[in-house]
Amino acid sequence: MEYLNISPTSEPSSPLPPSETHEPGPTNSSGSGSETSESNPAPVTINMDASGDATISAAFQPSLRIDDLLPDLTLISSNNVYFYVHRHRITGASSNSFGGLLLFDWGAHRHGFLPSLHLPETGDVINVVLHTMYGLSCLHFHPSLETVEAALDALIKYGVPIETYTAPFQPLYQLILSHAPYRPIETYALAGRHQLEDLAVTVSGHLLSFDLSRITDDLAKKMGPVYLKRLFLLHQSRLMALKELLLKPPANHPVTPGCNPNEHGKLTRAWALTTAQLVWDAMPSKPITGFEVDVPEAQGLPSVALSVVGISPNSLRALLEPIAETIVCESCRKMLQQRIQEVMYSWGQVKPTI
């Protein structure tokens, strides 16, 4: 994530206590003497602790005005990243006063002192937590999936209802979903662990080509038995649907001078042979060879094996069209094309998510 470097001051401060420390801010040049939040001073520099490596969040800076108010609280991460935030936003998003940290007497924190709280989470995690609580997107920071996972735990701890913030198209929903193309099973497990139904359903669409035998014990435990079962059922039902579709060969056409039932039998046999190789010989997650991967999320990702369950209608057509090469009758070829179109359409209608 991005931080602003803070120039160390020449006056080292005493070590910071674990929480509710007071950071002296600059005097209010307006001299209004008002004790409202709007007139609270916002420090532009911060006394460094002994390690001298403190930074300010690029997003939550001292000058950040929200609802026309300047920050009135500093949150300090475990790695000394300072976040300047607004108590009313924090308490508004939290059902437990930010894990009980904001229950103290705020009257003692006036007169030029900006209260600060030390948090055990890293700056990357707090960054996601705060963006979520403010209803902002932090996609541009590209937090890792591990960071997002830690942020979800922190959000729960700080009383933020994650099911609300992971509703479709909320910033946190988009953030989690952004990992689905690259780490689909881990993202699915995360959604399952927190029973984030909408996310789990959407992410499952990225797992059609996933080799289910690669699900580790840890992943299975994390996603839980219900989401694990639903994922297996998704693969199984799609495989059954594909088998059902391919079981029906191209229709016969009326007898013509150049084609007879024996000739048409060639088409039926060629269809049966090709489709048998495709689905009867394939396990749900067995990779198919012989054609280019056209699943976008599988491109360039060696960890993703393309399976018959995740085959696209276009790839299916590419596998079936060579049947025509063995057929000389033009009418038979037309019947083949017609059947391929039907299969493609029906396959595209099969439910692609849990």
Between 176 and 259, CB nearer to Zn ion? 259
Helical (H) or strand (E) element with 347: helix 330-349
Smallest distance from Zn ion to CB 325, Å: 15
Contact 132, 151 (CB under 8 A): yes
| Minimum CB distance to Zn ion, residue 217 (Å) | 54
Q: What stretch of H or E contains 118?
A: strand 113-118
CB of 347 to Zn ion, least distance (A): 25
151, 332, 340, 343: residue in contact with Zn ion (rule CB under 5 A): 332
DSSP assignment letter at 348:
H
Q: How far is the CB of 326 from Zn ion (least distance, A)?
A: 12
Please provide the DSSP assignment of 52-67 as one string. ---EEESSS-TT--BT
- Compare residues 17 and 258 and give the one whose CB is closer to Zn ion: 258
**What are 241's two structure tokens?**
């649907």
136-141, long-range: CB < 8 A, 24+ apart? 136/59, 136/171, 137/171, 137/174, 137/175, 138/1, 138/59, 138/171, 138/175, 139/171, 139/174, 139/175, 139/178, 141/1, 141/2
Please report, to the nearest 10 degrees, the dihedral formed by the alpha carbons of residues 238, 241, 242, 248 taken in order: 180
- By CB under 5 A, which span of 36-44, 50-58, 158-166, 325-333 interacts with Zn ion? 325-333
In the complex with Zn ion, the residue whose CB is nearer, 239 or 332, is: 332
Please check whether residue 320 is in contact with residue 340, taking contact to mean a CB–CB distance below 8 angstroms.
yes
Question: Residue 329, interface with Zn ion (CB under 5 A)?
Answer: yes
CB of 320 to Zn ion, least distance (A): 17
**Which residue is listed with tokens 């991967």?**
293
Residues in CB range of 17: below 8 A, 6 or more apart: 118
Nearer to Zn ion, 201 or 324 (CB): 324
Nearest distance, CB of residue 253 and Zn ion, angstroms: 6
For Zn ion (CB under 5 A), the number of binding residues is: 4
- Contact stretch for Zn ion (CB under 5 A) within 32-40, 80-88, 207-215, 330-338: 330-338
Phi, psi of 335 (to 5 degrees): -65, -35
Residue number, 228 or 329, with CB nearest to Zn ion:
329
Of residues 227-266, those binding Zn ion (CB under 5 A):
259
Stretch that binds Zn ion, among 83-91, 117-125, 129-137, 323-331 (CB under 5 A): 323-331
Chain-centroid distance of CA 179 in Å reads 4
CB of 329 to Zn ion, least distance (A): 3
With respect to Zn ion, which residue has the nearer C-beta, 243 or 266? 266
Q: Does 172 bind Zn ion (CB under 5 A)?
A: no
Report d(CA 115, CA 278) in Å as an integer: 66
Give 6 or 329: the residue with its C-beta nearer to Zn ion: 329
Stretch that binds Zn ion, among 202-210, 275-283, 318-326, 329-337 (CB under 5 A): 329-337
Residue number, 88 or 333, with CB nearest to Zn ion = 333
Query: Contact between 331 and Zn ion (CB under 5 A)?
Result: yes
Q: Nearest approach, Cβ of 276 to Zn ion (angstroms)?
A: 22
Give me the residues that bind Zn ion (CB under 5 A), please: 259, 329, 331-332
